[in-house]
Structure formats: structure tokens, C-alpha cells
Amino acid sequence: MNLAMIGEDLIHSYIYPGRINGFYRNLLEQYGGWMADMHPKHDSNALDSRVQISVIVSTDTELASKIAETCKIETVVTQMTPDMVDELDGAIIMERDGNLHLEMARPFIEQGKFVYIDKPVAQTLRDIVELEAIAKAHNAPVLGGSAVRYSQRMKAAREHSQNAVSVHIAGPGPWFEYGSHMVEALVILMGWDIVETTVLGTETSGAATLQWADGRCGVIQYGKGYPPGFTIQLFGEGEMFQTNLDDAVAYYEGVSNQIVAVATGEASASDWLELRSITKVMEEVGSKIVI
């Protein structure tokens, strides 16, 4: 399977192509910055010989060329053409701006092809609803969201979430950059049926509260001064569980494995109820933040 990686602002630019295609360690150290620490200390081969990223689509040709050279990607182009969509088997959307994701993904989804969309899957509820409708109409497998769901420590937290009545998560800001990680963590732990949100704060720091339909509640604190990763506390009757989702190597590895598994039909795509809930909360909180 040949995939395209698409983005104007290529977030996580060396993470997933390095794991999926393999990489040259000397070039990764030269170009990759902190992302070099997310990979083995030696040259690497493809994760699965059936799947490769063969094209990067970006107007940032300098960065795209460096990624291509480092991660064994054959072609760099500045725009996707209909002929290329026809020839490719799917796409990985790595654009930072969620407002662009729908139109970047649409040509592939309308052909029933696999698409992975990095967080946020969509910036608005309107876009996520349209993405879902197109994907279901064309039976296209869509995977997306935050890498934190693949944290080994998140698995431990899920085991303790069954009897939780409230949850607290703290992490860095700004909200636009990191909020979706924390919202997604709470949806995974507590469910998608969030009925109310409140906010006290700005784009760079503050707190958001979430309430579920059954009365459970959650608090997200974001801003400066928090440790690396995302600290979760779960509270139940007579029980408190705490963990820090700082095992980034594990969850980036988990995303890469899941991309390959869904692309090859060996795993299920994302849950649209979860994606809608995450997007709805992100949009609501964003609209209430004081700029």
C-alpha cells in the first residue's frame, strides 16, 4: 500500500514516517530535533513491508525534502492531483490546522480509501459530522485523534476508571495545541456522553470542567508549570489512582502500529461517537475561552 503524507504545517513530521518507512539515523539526528529521541539509536527499516509512505504533499518543500531524505520517501510534491489520488491507497493527514483536514481527506475518503488524521481530527462539529457522513457513505476506514490513547499508562488508567466518579487531568498549554490530548483522554476514560462544559481561563492557561449525563465530572487544567506528559487522577469511592502519560515513545509507536493495522484491514477504524464528542468539547471550550 502506498500512502501520501499531507500537510502545510507538518506536525510530528519525522515521527510516523520514521516508524512506518524506517529512517537513516544520522539524518534524523541532523534534521529531526527532539523527534530523534522518539526513535531507536540506529538506522531502521519499514514497520511492515506492505505499507509505505511514498509521497509527501506540502508547499514547505524544504522541510518535506528533509523528511523524504531521512524517512525513505520517494516523492515530494506541492499539491495533490486527482491522478495521484487514484494511484495511491490512502493518506496520512499531518496538518496542524484542523480547519484544513476535511478538504485534505475528502478526495481519499470519497474513493473509499484509508485516511489517518492527526489531532484534532476536525476543528468544528460541522466538519466532523461531514467527515463521518462521507466515510460511512463510501465505506472508508478513518483513523484519527491523539496519540495518548496508545499510552501504556492510559491502559492502566482505564482499568481504574470503571468506578470513577470524577477525573482530573493536567498538562501544558495552549489549549489549541494540547487541549485535544486531554479531552480525548477523558472521553476514553469516562465515555463520550458529555453534556456540559465550563471554562475559566485564556488560550494559554486555565481550567475547563466537563459533566457527563450521569453526573460524573472532570476537570482539565492546562498551562505552564506542569510536568512533561499529562497527569491523570481518577477518584472513586474510597479510591484514588494517579498516573502520568509521559511514555511518548510507547504511544507514538502505538499510533504507527495502528495506522498499519487499519490500513491493511487488520484493525477497526476510529469510533465516530468518540470523535464527535471530542470535537464538540474542543469547539465549545474554545468558544468560551477569553482571548
**Which tens digits make up the pLDDT trace of 200-219?**
999 999 999 999 999 999 99
Does the structure show a pLDDT above 70 at 140?
Answer: yes
CATH of the domain at 169: 3.30.360.10
What CATH number has the domain bearing residue 53? Answer: 3.40.50.720
pLDDT at 228 > cutoff 80: no
- At residue 104, does pLDDT exceed 90? yes
Which domain does 42 fall in, by range?
A: 2-147+251-270
Reported pTM = 0.96
Element holding 88 (H helix, E strand): none
Q: Tell me the three state secondary structure of residue 80.
A: coil
Nearby residues of 213 by Cβ (< 8 Å), 6 or more positions away: 193, 194, 195
Cα 140–chain centre separation: 18
Q: What single-letter DSSP state applies at residue 16?
A: H
pLDDT (mean) for 259-268: 98
Whether residue 202 is found in the same domain as residue 258: no
- Verify that 177 and 219 share a domain, yes or no: yes
44 and 56 housed in the same domain: yes
Helix axes 272-288, 125-138, angle to 10 degrees: 160
Domain identity same for 259 and 214: no
What gap in Å lies between CA 278 and CA 179, rounded to an integer?
10
Residues 71 and 172 in one domain: no
Is 70 exceeded by the pLDDT of residue 281?
yes
What's at 92, amino acid-wise?
I
> Is the pLDDT at 291 greater than 70, yes or no?
no
Locus of grid cell 506541492: 78
Tally of structural domains, the chain? 2
Average pLDDT of the chain to the nearest whole number: 96
For residue range 28-51, list pLDDT tens digits in order.
999 999 999 999 999 999 999 999
**Residue among 177, 194, 174, 195 at smallest CA distance from 186:** 194
Residue 227 is predicted with a pLDDT of: 73
Rounded CA gap, 103 and 147, in Å?
22
